[in-house]
Amino acid sequence: MSSQQGEKNPQNVVVELGSPSADAVITAMKAHRKMKLLAAYLINNAAVTQSDTDYVVINVKDKSGNVMATVSTKLTGGDAAIVKDVPLALTVNSTYSTIENDDYVQVQYDETDAGSNVALTSARVQLVFANIGTCE
């Protein structure tokens, strides 16, 4: 299967983050072939404003800890606020967007707060992968 064919038939993986009240790492999936992360989205059931003292960072990481995709609600140097029930695109890092057969992917939730709880509400992360290798 060519890379282009894999991109025409992407695989979606939805990772339930739930409503975490502390930092967390969730193993999302194990690859059954070489795959490329095309896109990632955070969907949350509540709005989260941007702030330099109360913010959320979501990282999608490969098994070596390299950041494949990220998004932050930090005001300075962050990406955007979270709008309730509107998918927020993570920035995909093309350097680390490909995983090999038997690699796994983790979603990291990192919360910084100075008294205002910025915990997510029934949150999930959608990962969109293209198959670029043969099944092993």
Domains and CATH numbers, the chain: 3-131 (2.60.120)
| Structural contact between residues 132 and 36, judged by C-beta atoms closer than 8 angstroms | yes
CA distances from 95 to 67, 80, 91, 123 (A): 9, 23, 12, 27
Average pLDDT over residues 113-132: 85
| Angle made by CA atoms 103, 126, 90, in degrees to the nearest 5 | 90
pLDDT at 1: 44
DSSP string, 38-104: EEEEEE-SS-B--BSSSEEEEEEEETT--EEEEEE-BTTT---PBPTTS-EEPEE-GGG-EE-TT-E
Model pTM above 0.85: yes
| Spatial separation of the C-alpha atoms in residues 118 and 51, rounded to whole Å | 10
pLDDT at 75: 94
pLDDT at 2: 47
Using a pLDDT cut of 70, give the percent of the chain over it. Answer: 88
pLDDT at 15: 94
Assess whether pLDDT exceeds 90 at residue 19.
Answer: no
Give 43-99 pLDDT, tens digit per residue.
999 999 999 998 999 999 999 999 999 999 999 999 999 999 999 999 999 999 999
